[in-house]
Amino acid sequence: MKKNLFKAILILIMNSAVCLAQTNNEIFEKMVGREAAMDPGINVQFLRDKPGHRFAVDSDSDGRIDIIYKIDSAEKHLGKRAPLLVKIVDEDGDMYLTGEGDQDSDLYVADWYGDGTIDRVVDYIDKDRDGDVDEQVLYQWTTVGYILAYAPTVYNGRAYCVSWSRDCGDDNRLWYYANYEYDQRLTEWKSDFNGDEMFVYLFYFDFEKGTLFPGGEIAFSFYDPDGDNLSEETVRFEGAGQTVRNVRFSMDIDNDTRAGNEHDFDFSITGLGPVTLPANSCTTLSFRGTTADPVMGWELMRSYAKSEKWSKTHLTWDENDNNVDLRPGSIQYERWEGVLNHGNEYMPQVGGPSCGAFNKRNEIDIDGSGKLGLYFSPVDQRFHLAGAELGWIEVDYDYDNRLDMVIRMEDTNRDGFFDTWKYDIDADSVFDRQFSTTAGEESLYSLEHASLSEAYLLVLEKALDDNEQLITMLKASIGKYCKREISDQVEDYFASKLIDFGKKYHLGEKIVNSSEGKRYYTDLIRERYWYRLCEIPTLTDSKDFQKIKVTYESGDYADTARILKEHVFPNTMWGR
């Protein structure tokens, strides 16, 4: 028995030594196949040749070239990996016609710096043989810490991985590569994360088992329900294997994506797991003969995310229609990933960069009781997270990174709906106004884009009209009692200064011209004028003011304007 035990230990040690001894190129060749192998003789000869030279190979001696070696000095690579030696393997039989590789079916093997080692391999796949790309597979190594954290096996300090993307809607657009890799800084805004498509980032390669294990963004899908080749929904699962640690479901609820504004998600619900994906809802992929562990398919992700019980959920609503990374030096386009929550004491941040702490509505469902559902409250004319116990907006209306105002919402009776609203008008940590109400009936909504978008657009239009009426009336009423012209600093900023914010990326211009942005600012302006009105004893002590106050706190702003007009201007044509 001791002899057998000794043999087992010896075999284990030998296998471990073999694993550690695998060279970079051997690992790539096992992941991809013999097609990835570079010819050392050609490498040496090629690097001595003049720039721009190509070396064509007829590997099967049929009289047609099927492999090309070249130095790729395209401008998009920025010379970061020069000399960048590339081997292109023809996999659809048309290289002899053009003398080039194509991006529907060919294999590209990249050797950074021409040192003879494989660094990246890109496989373009035309599944339906219609002459355009349907899938992209990127084979790579990495030493990035947060990626290594998911790796079940590491070789000489490197994790070897596969990222996969699928064009589900056949719009023939997927990831854009520089230096034959996805480089977020260089390529994210040139990649296509729109229409119907999906990716997994990453699968980790196990050399000994010859398998691929999903870890990180184990399924990230985009959906185009209205067929305009722009995504209105996106769902992201993060985890390892079939265990999902968290989900993010984002939606463009007002459906205002268009050319030049391709990513305009309005809210997200982030949920925490862990949950285990059911085997019968997962699919097994194979890459050049290497089998990957199962992942959930594009077709099922939305329904599964909505039906699963998450341990905690967090709504992030992009109130000012400005879902960008505002950190200095960042590229400030609307984030393609959806609306990324900002970490807080109740919920960790999931992914990055976040949408920031200011001008976003945050709502927390501590026990996940409402799943990924919404409800509409007539009290503030907003859609809220079902089951949320707490919500807040931290206002920075002039984007100086200083808190200007706080709005807080609470579900004090734990029935799943907010019943208390609090306002700290000057951000001094003291609530200047608060009220509790059960006025009106909440309407429940599931995350179905068509019905939710239709309902939201009606609410948005009404909120803008009601705010305009009430703000006009509030200013007139305050002016009558105070005997002077009335103005508000938030109103002044919105009217004349906001348009200059973030000029390089037209951020302020977009907010000013956005229905969502205008609604957010007029909500703030309305509330500030209402607070000032409530500071006028002559008005608030009158017998009719309680009726005005109850109407305002019920969320009926148009009727508030009407009653206020009748009370303040009773004997005028305007007040009738």
- Per residue in 131-183, pLDDT (tens digit) is 999 999 999 999 999 999 999 899 999 999 999 999 999 999 999 999 999 99
Residue 361 in any domain: the answer is no
Confidence category of residue 3, pLDDT binned at 50, 70, 90: very low
| Residue 53 confidence (pLDDT) | 76
* Each residue's pLDDT tens digit, 70-98: 999 999 999 999 999 999 999 999 999 99
pLDDT beyond 50 at 7? no
| Tokens of residue 459, six digits | 């609410």
Q: SS3 for 69-93, per residue?
A: EEECCCHHHCCCCCCCEEEEECCCC
pLDDT beyond 80 at 47? no
| Residue 260 confidence (pLDDT) | 84
| Residue 126 confidence (pLDDT) | 96
Vertex 32: Cα angle to 28 and 38 (nearest 5)? 60
Single pTM value for the model: 0.94
Burial of 365 (0-12, 13-18, 19+ CB in 10 A): buried
Q: Which domain holds residue 201?
A: 2-261+270-308
| Tokens of residue 448, six digits | 């179905």
Residue 444 in any domain: the answer is no
Residue 332 in any domain: the answer is no
Q: What does the alpha-carbon distance between residue 309 and residue 306 come to, in Å, rounded to a whole number?
A: 8
Amino acid at 19: C
509: left (phi over 0), alpha (psi -120 to 50) or beta: alpha
Residue 44 in any domain: the answer is yes
Residue 81 in any domain: the answer is yes
Residue 373 in any domain: the answer is no
Residue with more model confidence, 223 or 10: 223
- Backbone φ, ψ for residue 471 (5° rounding): -60, -40
Question: Among residues 89, 78, 100, 94, which one has the least CA distance to residue 39?
Answer: 89
| Residue 42 confidence (pLDDT) | 78
Secondary structure class of 267 (helix, strand, coil): strand
| Residue 338 confidence (pLDDT) | 98
Residue 371 in any domain: the answer is no
Mean pLDDT of the chain: 92
Residue 128 in any domain: the answer is yes
Confidence category of residue 439, pLDDT binned at 50, 70, 90: low
Number of domains in the chain: 2
For tokens 């039906």, the residue is 307
| Tokens of residue 245, six digits | 């640690």
Q: Which CA distances in Å does 50 have to 54, 57, 116?
A: 10, 18, 18
Q: What does the alpha-carbon distance between residue 393 and residue 397 come to, in Å, rounded to a whole number?
A: 11
Cβ pair 47, 78 in contact under 8 A = no
* Each residue's pLDDT tens digit, 488-546: 999 999 999 999 999 999 999 999 999 999 999 999 999 999 999 999 998 999 888 99
- Backbone φ, ψ for residue 9 (5° rounding): -65, -40
| Residue 122 confidence (pLDDT) | 98
